[in-house]
Amino acid sequence: MDLDSSELLFRMSLTLFEKIINKEIPAEIIYEDEISIVIEDINPQAPTHLLIIPKKVIPKLSDASNEDQEILGHLMLVAGKIADQLGLDETFRLVVNNGAKAGQSVFHLHLHLISGRPFNWPPG
């Protein structure tokens, strides 16, 4: 696993998400199971902006291995379940930022589930 200097700094201590998973700091938890946790984003970019986070630390998507396949699939299924529970129907976007240059600021893999406003394509 190659970590750039900003990622290495984050890995020297627990990430924000690890502290939330460990209940060391509060968060608005929407859903939790043995594999994942879903929280509200503290800096929402849309009326609905949730973070779907695996409990296993995978710094970024490109660090996932074949053994993480079940976790990755689970995160996608959780996204669909949460979207259904919130009545989002087919009106949501999932985003994964991979690395600092792609906008990742917490080096613990997470999916952004966003909805509630129009989204442009291409994003950015």
The CATH number for 20's domain is 3.30.428.10
From the list 116, 39, 93, 36, the residue with the least C-alpha distance to 70 is: 36
pLDDT score recorded for residue 107? 96
Residue 124 falls inside a structural domain? no
Among 9-23, 87-101, 102-116, the minimum mean pLDDT is found in: 9-23
CA angle 28/113/34 to nearest 5° reads 60
Active site residues: 110
DSSP string, 45-60: SSSEEEEEEESS--SS
pLDDT of 109 > 60? The answer is yes
Domains contained in the chain, number: 1
pLDDT score recorded for residue 12? 63
Residue 96 falls inside a structural domain? yes
Residue 11 falls inside a structural domain? yes
pTM of the model: 0.88
Among 10-24, 43-57, 99-113, the minimum mean pLDDT is found in: 10-24
Query: Which region holds residue 101: left if phi is over 0, alpha if psi is between -120 and 50, else beta?
Result: alpha
Residue 21 falls inside a structural domain? yes
Residue 93 falls inside a structural domain? yes
Residue 120 falls inside a structural domain? no
Q: Encoding tokens for residue 96?
A: 């994964």
The domain in which residue 66 lies consists of: 5-115
